[in-house]
Structure 1
Amino acid sequence: MVRLGLISDPDFPEEIAQYLARVLPDQLPEQLNDDREWSVEVLRDPVAAGRRSGGEILRAAREQSLHREWDYAICVTDLPLRFDNHPVLADVGVEACVGLMSLPALGGVQPYRRARQVVIQILDEILGATEESRELPTQQRRRGLHSLLTEVLGPIRREVPNREEIGVRYRATRKRGRLRLLSGMVRSNTPWRLVFGMSGALAASLAISAFGLTSSTVWQIGDALGAWRRGVIVLGVLALMCTWLILSHKLWDKRNQTVDREQAVLYNVSTAATLGVGVSCLYLSLLVFNIIAALLLIEPELLASKLGHPVGFAHYLGLAWASATMGVAAGALGSGLENDATVRQAAYGYREAQRRRIEQEREKQREQQESGGG
């Protein structure tokens, strides 16, 4: 029995690791041309917290692997790793039988499928450095970079760093890799959960939207404005709510001892994009709710009498737009009453600091136990 350990950060990386634990035992023998039986275990442990390089994370993964008596260990993290301004997809410690996968570098599309492909490639690299693997025909064992990763993830590079702890590294190209990295960071933030987490903003938005549906003044405003003016107002309201969330909950990261300038930019851009997606989901939800409510509650004759002309679906859409826009504007004020922890989950810097504190507390406990035992 071959034991593979997946050491995952909390939240989205843990979801990926649990998925891999379900599918890999049946797929690894075929994918790696290895007839041994595999078992996959998941350990939730923020080993990447406070560590800025792949080598440091691989050493921590090696310690866990030895402690758990695993044959191989792979760290699954949502920490965006970079080397020489290039996003890093994976680092492989072939001699130590450990690997590291950075989920954001995989992009925001099909993260489960891509993560499975990368883990298989990491194991293929490790097996390629063992005497047992060398006994297998090369054409049977190795799937190769181009057949496995390049076709899935686009332009990436396989490197062999001149370092003891990192035997192989996979990195993305600079321009396309950065765009994929940002999309992956937004995906890791799970922005759609932000809508349901902000109960105060959601309640305020629904209340004001309901009021707008009963106001003939709101009906007339929605009917009078043209499409381009509606679009500008929507963008302004969404920007207002995102800005208010960032300022009121102090989500903007600054360069410090643990975060360099480029990483701070990545954190801030991904936070703004996450909030933008989350607030947009809130707006679209309100819009759909208002359209259905308006069609059910407001008779065409009543709406036509207030607007002074015959009405159709487009006029109901204008009414729903006006009510939803008012609701989101009110939700921006209601978001200031939210629990900081609820909103800050959308910020990479906050989650990283939170995990770093957990790791530091564990280090202190270990030191106290060792000093007490001594």
Structure 2
Amino acid sequence: MTPSHRDAASSSGRTDPVPAAPVHLGLIFAPDLAGRYQEHLLADLPALLESRFPGVQWTLSTALEDRDDPAEDALGLLEATRDRMLDEGWDIAVGITDDVLRQGRHTYAKQVSAVHAAGVISVPALGVTTTRARVAEAVVSAVGVVLGVDPDGGGSPEAVAERARQLATDVEDRQEENVTSYTARVLGGNVRLLLGMVRTNRPWLLAVRLSKSLTVALASGVLTLVTTDLWLLSSEYSPLQMTLLGLVSMGAVTGALIVGAGLWEQARRDGEREQVTLFNAATVLTVLIGVIVLHLLLFIASLGGALLLVDADVFTEVTGEVADLGEYLKLAWLVGGLATLGGALGAGLENDDVVRAAAYTRSD
């Protein structure tokens, strides 16, 4: 259907030092829900959005959900919503569906991806007696996740407005420009937006969500900790070699997760180039930070295991080095690096949808 448009700009008469950030929000309705909620949301959302996100000027459009290619799960619905957003040229999209949002054994009322600037709301999951006001609140909440609003408070309205402005502003696409130069301009012009995407993803929780990777990594660490050959290597390795080992191990796990789960995207048309560039950058940073957290946790666990299991006299006899704290730290770093590499093997065992959901979605 042809999108219906409604300008949500406010005319309060106030003169702001900085122009309001214009954001185009698209709402995609399941056919059975359009008659119940479409007109109500078009009437009530502009004022509600303006009150929650001052400094942002809203334009609303609506469309019907495409039922010809139904999604199988919550992540599929989210990605379909994002694809429709790109097709329509919106800045943010929220799908309002009558399907149950299922991901594995879990069901959700809402699933949002800040890096995709898209979200999906399941009306049945909001409650048996779902009111129109409750649906409107759910839409505003999903938009808040995209704009990096902390549900527990914090974050200035100016920062939210600046992120909205970066989301809505396109970087000039110069056809003759190489990929490196274009990427640098996109990232340089969208720093706040990019950092907000990464923070919203909560990358420090990535390792916890990927249970198989963490299990394999911990098992690798335990098995290697009592290997005397490893003691000899740790005592001989220089700080530079230890640093390189850590970088290689973290890079291997990051690459395994991104490539294995198909997290890297290619723009299908010129109009998607900037958004896909930001998505890939946010994905890489999210996964990398998550892997760094994993590595540090494994290092701490390895240090505790070394102090508990590695006898100082035996270590000295095997390596010829005094088993002081420095030697234990080197051993723990080496074991943690190898355990992180073991995590790359565990990443290959994860379901692709599990990795994608862990990397860039928030669910309620």
Residue aligning to 2:153 = 113
- Between the two proteins, the alignment pairs up a number of residues equal to 240
Confirm or deny that 1:51 pairs with 2:105.
Answer: no
Change (3 A) 1:209 1:105: same
TM-score by length of structure 1 reads 0.53
Question: 2: CA distance between counterparts of 1:310 and 1:189?
Answer: 44
- Percent identity over paired residues: 27
Confirm or deny that 1:195 pairs with 2:229.
Answer: no
Letter of the 1:327 partner, please give it. A
The 8 Å contact of residues 105 and 180 in structure 1, kept in 2 or not, is answered as: no
Question: Of 255, 266, 274, which residue of structure 2 is paired with 1:254?
Answer: 266
Question: 2: CA distance between counterparts of 1:203 and 1:80?
Answer: 30
Q: How far off is 1:299 after superposition?
A: 2.2
Change (3 A) 1:230 1:55: closer
Q: How far off is 1:154 after superposition?
A: 9.5
CA RMSD of aligned residues (A): 4.5
Question: 2: CA distance between counterparts of 1:233 and 1:55?
Answer: 41
Residue aligning to 1:336 = 348
TM-score by length of structure 2 reads 0.54
CA offsets, 1:96-132, max 9 Å, x none? Answer: xx9794545548xx674346x5xxxxxxxxxxxxxxx
Question: 1: CA distance between counterparts of 2:210 and 2:243?
Answer: 24
Question: 2: CA distance between counterparts of 1:55 and 1:251?
Answer: 21
Question: 1: CA distance between counterparts of 2:291 and 2:329?
Answer: 20
Question: Of 180, 200, 221, which residue of structure 1 is paired with 2:192?
Answer: 180
Q: How far off is 1:238 after superposition?
A: 0.8
The 8 Å contact of residues 217 and 341 in structure 2, kept in 1 or not, is answered as: yes
1:129-168 to structure 2, matched below 5 A, reads 149-150=157-158
Letter of the 1:78 partner, please give it. A
Question: Of 285, 297, 319, which residue of structure 1 is paired with 2:297?
Answer: 285
Residue aligning to 1:13 = none
Letter of the 2:289 partner, please give it. V
5+ residue gaps, structure 1: 1-6, 10-27, 32-43, 62-75, 82-97, 118-148, 162-173, 355-374
The 8 Å contact of residues 234 and 334 in structure 2, kept in 1 or not, is answered as: yes
1:174-323 to structure 2, matched below 5 A, reads 178-256=190-268, 260-323=272-335
The 8 Å contact of residues 80 and 185 in structure 1, kept in 2 or not, is answered as: no
Q: How far off is 1:266 after superposition?
A: 1.0
Question: 1: CA distance between counterparts of 2:197 and 2:284?
Answer: 11
The 8 Å contact of residues 209 and 358 in structure 2, kept in 1 or not, is answered as: no
Change (3 A) 1:273 1:346: farther
Question: 2: CA distance between counterparts of 1:111 and 1:182?
Answer: 19
Question: 1: CA distance between counterparts of 2:198 and 2:212?
Answer: 23
Letter of the 2:261 partner, please give it. H
The 8 Å contact of residues 252 and 268 in structure 1, kept in 2 or not, is answered as: yes
Q: How far off is 1:80 after superposition?
A: 5.9
CA offsets, 1:328-372, max 9 Å, x none? Answer: 112112211111111012455xx69x9xxxxxxxxxxxxxxxxxx
Letter of the 1:218 partner, please give it. L
Question: 2: CA distance between counterparts of 1:229 and 1:283?
Answer: 16
Question: 1: CA distance between counterparts of 2:283 and 2:164?
Answer: 28
The 8 Å contact of residues 114 and 201 in structure 2, kept in 1 or not, is answered as: no
Change (3 A) 1:259 1:214: farther
CA offsets, 1:69-113, max 9 Å, x none? Answer: xxxxxxx973666xxxxxxxxxxxxxxxx9794545548xx6743
Question: 2: CA distance between counterparts of 1:200 and 1:175?
Answer: 33
The 8 Å contact of residues 105 and 177 in structure 1, kept in 2 or not, is answered as: no
Aligned to 1:260, the other structure's residue is in SS state: helix
